[in-house]
């Protein structure tokens, strides 16, 4: 069974710890995404699993067998690098059959698997072309066919969609998942693109500074981020730091440093603790009508800046109390607003997630590196 | 499993690979680096000897001018010939077969005759030859100063014909051997500095022209610049001296005969073979510099000269360092061509009597004379130390040095940027290239076409050729076997401290003057008393060509994205399979280029060969020997034969590296 068990894995480059005491289990047939900012150690983790670099300590088990001493060619793990690494001096066919030939299969078997894989990725009619003659999408499919024909049951994908243009990236990510499921592969897909991770994963593992900071289904990661960093990284969020005043059955109340109170979701944190609360910008309600409401989660302000992004727009709003907040609106709604408009901002209490205040303050906790 | 699979399996094991790398590193350290730097140990082991022989003045000897012998030499049946002043004498001969003229100077050491100096010439036909047995200090007989004899014998194969013996008094001179070393080194470093400056001044506009401008025939000019590199320096020295200098006893048609200063001639010669390195290094880096910086500066209103000076030149330093180090090291190291050129200006003189010597030619002369082991070791040691220090300094100074580039002189620079000035600069570049590089390089052809033919000993030439090819062939094979894995290790090795050290060490044999390297190597292996000439020559050539293979292959490996190899591994390929199918196809042209460079460098090398063994006969040594003996015509023919062979190999290399560039 192609399951992966990683135990207390550590990798250091000199003083720099890239992977820090990592323990992960990947189930058979699972499509796991590792999400994290640049420098989180994602690629290093893949390289460790593939055997391309030696760990400082800890162990990796594949199918229950320790593979620490096995060279890459004996781990039966297919690795697809960011740039695909199609061998430039070999054509599509030679690239695809490289694995079987390297493993010394007999020519008939090589012929069969090569044909099967290339037909699967719809490249059989281009089998005499060289990588430089293929489009980005074809190169990606060729690399995938090559990885799949190598008799591996584990597929490691290192930002496999990064080099493609936006449109193709959307089409191919479903194709990628489908192929891997059809082949019964266990897949680890590394990406820094949260949208990509949310759409294709069975499970997401958020990695930062070589540590797993959260593991869960896409919905869990999006709706119940473990720390402010994930809240901000997966989607974008407005944060308020302050003190937890009281905890109710439905809501909690926190007070910020200027004495303003907010109603937030309920929480297990002890009243009196320092906390931060954050709301994703797409849940920040912005309307043109000023609500004459006593609701403490209601504010007025004016639009400072609009960032037009096509399908949606990002707004920067200066509240009357001087604070800057962000809101994201879908395109059809965004059209109604213009620079300088007076607006009403509302934070829905259920959307204001509460976290213990991170050490060093919220700004530092959100830093990408 | 077939046998070949079993072997490949065995080779691919982690431990075997580690062992192989270890072996390669040991090879490199023991056969290349340690022998190259072994001479440095002499500072400790030979200190007393240095004090005794090199630093101390020989006993005072009275110079007695009244003791001058006067020769009346009659040769075979001919008349008495010229009687020259003091200790030089001209012998005229007329013989119908190869006759050996042997000139020996004996000294009396406790009443016993000891050969101090010996030179031999083979003559045939009618002509005259000069023997210089002057008793002035240029001989520098430091050990045995005192009275002695000078004999001249003639032997035409039928036994001794005649022998003359004369008593002479040799004056020691008031200078120490150390003074000679000092003079030679000062000459060497001065020449290297001047040559490098001229190379840079003339090479920069040329590199600019080749990279930034398009004109008809650029391709051919590009090839022409490299031409001197294909000619062994011994041939270049011969050809250049003929073109520029006053060469007694030889005045070929078209010779300019402009200078009788060995200093100027050697500078002109060294420019010929170092200029291509400078142009290549500068244009390589110029290629890398994004033209958009220059475009941006121009649109901001800077005239071309200002742009070049303030934008491009500061980005240039890396290329400048490479170019300067290459030119400096090549000039410092060159032996064969310099020997040939100096010999032509002072024909029929003992090498030690030449009015000017460079470090390498002094080493060659002492080695040739024999009995100067401490002097040789000392000179080689000093040369190695100064070279290494100086090159580190060059590197630091250029990288740190802030040229006053910010200051702009809008008026003059605008004026100099347009009209006749840029055209003049381009024209001068071409004139320099033709006059200083190409015509002197190929002047030898004019001599052969217009000169008077004299018999050629083709047997000797082909013998030397066979030996040269044997040496070059063997070192090329060994270089490939050990150089390719070392290059791969340097680029891909995981132990960064180790790879960085190796990366620096690999350049050492490239920088150390080859004659010093030869002395060092001779001491290292000589101390083990293996005593085999061929092996010594091979190991010397191995040391200075090894970096060429490693540098080329390492360069290609750096270009090769490691993910190709890694991907291949995860696809199930063992390391050997990855090397054969992925790595080698990608670097093969660089491997080939390295191999050909090593081969041609070995073929053209004189200094290292002469420094390791007294009696080795590679082609350049053979040519230098002919030139020294005044057999100019055969020397020229041998040069031309060697030029053709080198040219064919160079063309092959260009073709192959070009193909690599196309892929």
The reply to whether residue B566 touches residue A103, judged by beta carbons under 8 angstroms, is no
Chain B residues with CB-CB distance to A52 below 8 A = 566, 569-570
Which chain B residue has the Cα nearest residue A155? Answer: B570
pLDDT on residue B111 = 57
Same domain, A340 and A310: yes
pLDDT tens-place string over residues B513-522 = 999 999 998 8
Mapped onto helix, strand or coil, the DSSP state of residue A303 is strand
Which parts of chain B register pLDDT below 70?
A: 1-2, 5, 8, 12, 56-99, 104-118, 124-176, 318, 348-350, 352-353, 399, 401-408, 527-531, 616, 653-654, 656-663
Of A51, A83, A89, the CB nearest to B563: A83
CATH 3.10.180.10 for domain B177-231+258-337+347-438: no
Helices and strands counted in chain B (H then E): 28, 4
| Selected residue with higher pLDDT from B395 and A5 | A5
Q: Say if residue A179 is in the same domain as residue A320.
A: no
Select from A168, A202, A228 the last residue of a domain.
A228
Nearest to A102 among B14, B572, B585 (CB): B572
pLDDT at B82: 23
Higher pLDDT, B212 or A189: A189
Q: Return d(Cα A333, Cα A348) in angstroms, integer.
A: 19
Selecting from A81, A103, A150 the residue whose C-beta is nearest the C-beta of B563 gives: A81
Contact call for B586 and A146, based on CB within 8 A: no
Give how far Cα A221 sits from Cα of A228, A357, B250, Å: 12, 19, 92
Half-sphere exposure for B593 (CA within 13 Å, toward CB): 19
Same domain, A73 and A209: yes
Same domain (yes/no): A146, A31:
yes
CB contact under 8 Å between A79 and B561, yes or no, is no
Average pLDDT over residues A32-48: 90
pLDDT at residue A37 tops 80: yes
Judging contacts by C-beta atoms under 8 Å, the chain A residues touching residue B575 are 71
CATH classification of the domain holding A321? 2.40.50.100
Contacts (Cβ under 8 Å, ≥6 apart) of A140: A84, A160, A161, A163, A164, A172
Are A77 and A221 in a shared domain? yes
- Condensed to tens digits (0 to 9), the pLDDT of residues A215-228 reads 999 999 998 898 88
- Quick one: A62 and A195 in the same domain? yes
* Nearest residue, CB atoms, A73 vs list B564, B574, B663: B574
- Cβ contact B340:B624 at 8 Å: yes
CATH number for the domain formed by residue range(s) B459-662: 1.10.3720.10
CB-CB neighbors (< 8 A) of A152 in chain B: 570
* Radius of gyration of chain B measured on its C-alpha atoms: 27
Residues of chain A found within 8 Å of residue B567, distances taken between Cβ atoms: 79-81, 85
In order of B81, B93, B153, B162, B330, the CA distances from B77 in angstroms are: 11, 9, 15, 11, 50
> Which of A169 and B332 is assigned the larger pLDDT?
B332
Pairing mode of beta strands A16-26, A298-308: unpaired
Q: Which domain holds residue A156?
A: 4-228
A85:B569 CB<8 A: no
Q: What is the dihedral of CA B167, B173, B177, B181, to 10 degrees?
A: -110
Give yes or no: residues A164 and A255 share one domain.
no
Do residues A161 and A247 both lie within one domain? no
Least confident of A161-170, A185-194, B98-107, B503-512: B98-107
Q: Is A51 on the interface with B (CB under 8 A)?
A: yes
The alpha-carbon gap from B573 to the nearest alpha carbon of chain A, in Å, equals 5
Question: Taking CB atoms and an 8 Å limit, are B570 and A102 in contact across chains?
Answer: no
Q: Does one domain contain both A276 and A197?
A: no
For residue A275, the tally of other CB atoms under 10 A from its CB is 22
- What's the mean per-residue pLDDT of chain A? 88
Averaged pLDDT, A67-87: 87
Q: Is residue A350 less than 8 Å (CB to CB) from chain B?
A: no
The architecture that CATH gives domain B69-169 is: Sandwich (2.60)
8 Å CB contact of A102 and B577: yes
Kindly report, residue by residue over A268-325, the tens digit of the pLDDT: 888 888 898 999 988 888 888 877 777 788 888 999 999 988 888 999 999 888 888 9
CB contact under 8 A, A77 and B570: yes
Contacts of B18 in chain A (CB under 8 A): none
Task: List where CATH 1.10.3720.10 sits in chain B.
Answer: 177-231+258-337+347-438, 459-662
Q: Which residue has the tokens 């030996």?
A: B467
The residue of B571, B582, B586 whose CB has the most chain A CBs within 10 angstroms, and thus the best one to mutate to test that interface, is B571
Region at A275 (left for phi over 0; alpha for psi -120 to 50; beta for the rest): beta
Q: What is the spatial distance between Cα A19 and Cα A2, in angstroms, rounded to a whole number?
A: 23
How many angstroms separate the CA atoms of A335 and A313, rounded?
9
CATH code of the domain containing A30:
3.40.50.300
- Of the pLDDT bands very low, low, confident and very high (cuts 50, 70, 90), residue A7 is very high
DSSP 3-state percent helix, strand, coil across chain B (nearest 5): 70, 10, 20
Whose structure tokens read 């030898």? B444
Q: Is B5 on the interface with A (CB under 8 A)?
A: yes
- Here the ipTM equals 0.79
Of the candidates A78, A83, A89, which has its C-beta nearest B570's C-beta? A78
**Cβ–Cβ gap B571/A99 under 8 Å:** yes
| Separation CA B547–CA B538 (nearest Å) | 15
Give ranges for CATH 2.60.40 in chain B: 69-169
The reply to whether A273 and A183 lie within a common domain is no
Residue of chain B minimizing CA distance to A80: B567
The total domain count for chain A is 2
Name the domain boundary from A199, A228, A257: A228
* Confidence at residue B397, expressed as pLDDT on a 0 to 100 scale: 77
Which of B:561-580 have CB within 8 Å of A? 561, 563-564, 566-575, 577
- Domain boundary (A228, A244, A277) is at A228
Q: Are residues A271 and A321 in the same domain?
A: yes
């Amino acid at each position: 069974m192609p399951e992966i068990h990683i135990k207390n894995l550590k990798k250091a480059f000199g003083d720099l710890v890239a992977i820090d005491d990592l323990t992960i289990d990947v189930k058979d047939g699972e499509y796991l995404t590792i999400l994290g900012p640049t420098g989180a150690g994602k690629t290093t983790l893949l390289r460790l699993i593939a055997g391309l670099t030696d760990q400082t300590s800890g162990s990796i088990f594949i199918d229950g067998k320790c593979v620490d001493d096995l060279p890459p060619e004996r781990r039966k793990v297919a690795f697809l690098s960011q740039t695909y690494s199609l061998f430039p001096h070999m054509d599509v066919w030679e690239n695809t059959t490289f694995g079987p030939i390297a493993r010394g299969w007999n020519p008939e078997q090589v012929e069969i698997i090569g044909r099967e894989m290339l037909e699967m990725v719809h490249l059989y009619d281009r089998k005499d072309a060289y990588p430089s003659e293929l489009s980005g999408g074809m190169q990606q499919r060729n690399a995938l066919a090559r990885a799949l024909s190598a008799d591996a049951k584990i597929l490691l994908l290192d930002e496999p969609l990064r080099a493609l243009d936006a449109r193709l990236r959307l089409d191919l990510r479903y194709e990628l998942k489908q192929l891997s499921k059809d082949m019964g592969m266990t897949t680890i897909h590394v990406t820094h693109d949260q949208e990509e991770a949310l759409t294709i994963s069975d499970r997401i593992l958020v990695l930062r500074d070589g540590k797993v900071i959260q593991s869960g289904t896409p919905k869990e990661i999006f709706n119940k981020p473990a720390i402010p960093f994930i809240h901000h990284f997966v989607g974008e969020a407005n944060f308020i730091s302050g003190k937890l005043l009281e905890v109710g059955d439905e809501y909690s109340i926190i007070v910020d440093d200027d004495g303003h109170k907010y109603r937030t979701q309920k929480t297990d944190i002890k009243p009196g603790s320092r906390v931060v609360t954050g709301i994703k910008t797409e849940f920040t309600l912005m309307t043109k009508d000023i609500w004459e409401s006593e609701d403490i989660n209601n504010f007025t302000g004016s639009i400072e800046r609009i960032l037009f992004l096509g399908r949606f727009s990002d707004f920067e709003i200066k509240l009357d109390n001087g604070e800057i907040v962000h809101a994201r609106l879908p395109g059809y709604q965004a059209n109604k607003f213009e620079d300088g408009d007076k607006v009403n901002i509302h934070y829905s209490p259920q959307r204001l997630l509460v976290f213990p205040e991170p050490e060093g303050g919220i700004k530092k906790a959100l830093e990408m590196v | 499993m077939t046998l070949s699979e079993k072997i490949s399996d065995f080779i691919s094991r982690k431990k075997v690979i580690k062992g192989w790398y270890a072996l390669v590193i040991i090879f490199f350290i023991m056969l290349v680096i340690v022998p190259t730097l072994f001479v440095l140990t002499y500072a400790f082991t030979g200190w007393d000897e240095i004090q005794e022989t090199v630093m101390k003045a020989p006993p005072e000897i009275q110079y007695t001018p009244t003791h001058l012998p006067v020769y009346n030499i009659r040769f075979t049946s001919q008349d008495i010939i010229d009687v020259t002043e003091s200790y030089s004498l001209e012998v005229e001969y007329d013989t119908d077969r190869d006759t050996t003229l042997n000139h020996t100077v004996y000294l009396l050491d406790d009443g016993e005759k000891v050969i101090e100096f010996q030179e031999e010439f083979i003559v045939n036909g009618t002509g005259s030859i000069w023997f210089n047995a002057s008793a002035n200090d240029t001989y520098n007989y430091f050990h045995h100063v005192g009275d002695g004899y000078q004999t001249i014998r003639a032997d035409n194969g039928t036994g001794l014909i005649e022998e003359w013996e004369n008593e002479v008094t040799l004056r020691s001179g008031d200078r120490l051997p150390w003074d000679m070393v000092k003079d030679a080194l000062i000459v060497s470093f001065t020449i290297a500095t001047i040559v490098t400056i001229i190379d840079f001044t003339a090479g920069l506009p040329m590199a600019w022209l080749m990279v930034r401008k398009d004109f008809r025939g650029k391709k051919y000019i590009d090839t022409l610049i490299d031409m001197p590199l294909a000619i062994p320096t011994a041939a270049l020295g011969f050809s250049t001296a003929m073109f520029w200098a006053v060469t007694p006893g030889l005045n070929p048609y078209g010779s300019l005969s402009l200078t009788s200063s060995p200093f100027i001639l050697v500078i002109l010669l060294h420019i010929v073979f170092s200029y291509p390195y400078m142009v290549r290094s500068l244009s390589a880096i110029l290629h890398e510099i994004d033209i958009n910086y220059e475009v941006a500066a121009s649109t901001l209103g800077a005239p071309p000269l200002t742009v070049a000076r303030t934008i491009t030149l500061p980005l240039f330093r890396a290329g400048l360092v490479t170019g300067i180090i290459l030119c400096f090291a090549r000039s410092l190291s060159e032996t064969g061509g310099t020997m040939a050129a100096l010999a032509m200006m002072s024909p029929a003189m003992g090498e030690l009597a030449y009015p000017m010597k460079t470090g390498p030619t002094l080493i060659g002369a002492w080695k040739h004379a024999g009995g100067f082991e401490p002097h040789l070791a000392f000179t080689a040691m000093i040369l190695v130390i100064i070279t290494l220090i100086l090159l580190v300094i060059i590197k630091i100074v250029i990288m740190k040095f802030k040229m006053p580039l910010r200051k702009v002189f809008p008026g003059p620079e605008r004026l100099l940027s347009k009209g006749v000035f840029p055209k003049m600069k381009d024209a001068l570049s071409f004139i320099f290239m033709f006059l200083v590089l190409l015509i002197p390089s190929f002047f030898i052809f004019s001599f052969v076409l217009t000169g008077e033919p004299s018999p050629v000993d083709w047997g000797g030439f082909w013998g030397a050729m066979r030996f040269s090819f044997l040496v070059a062939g063997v070192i090329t094979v060994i270089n490939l076997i050990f150089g390719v894995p070392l290059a791969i290790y340097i680029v891909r090795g995981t132990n960064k401290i180790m790879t960085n050290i190796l990366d620096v060490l690999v350049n050492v044999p490239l920088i150390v003057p080859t004659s010093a390297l030869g002395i060092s190597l001779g001491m290292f292996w000589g101390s083990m008393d293996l005593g085999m000439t061929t092996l010594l020559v091979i190991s010397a050539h191995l040391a200075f060509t090894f970096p060429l293979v490693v540098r080329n292959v390492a360069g290609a490996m750096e270009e090769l994205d490691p993910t190709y190899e890694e991907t291949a591994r995860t696809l199930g390929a063992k390391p050997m399979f990855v090397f054969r199918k992925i790595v080698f196809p990608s670097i093969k042209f660089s491997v080939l280029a390295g191999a050909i460079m090593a081969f041609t460098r070995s073929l053209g090398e004189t200094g290292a060969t002469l420094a390791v063994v007294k009696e080795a006969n590679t082609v350049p040594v053979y040519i230098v020997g002919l030139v020294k003996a005044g057999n100019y015509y055969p020397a020229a023919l041998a040069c031309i034969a060697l030029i053709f062979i080198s040219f064919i190999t160079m063309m092959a290399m260009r073709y192959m590296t070009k193909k690599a560039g196309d892929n």
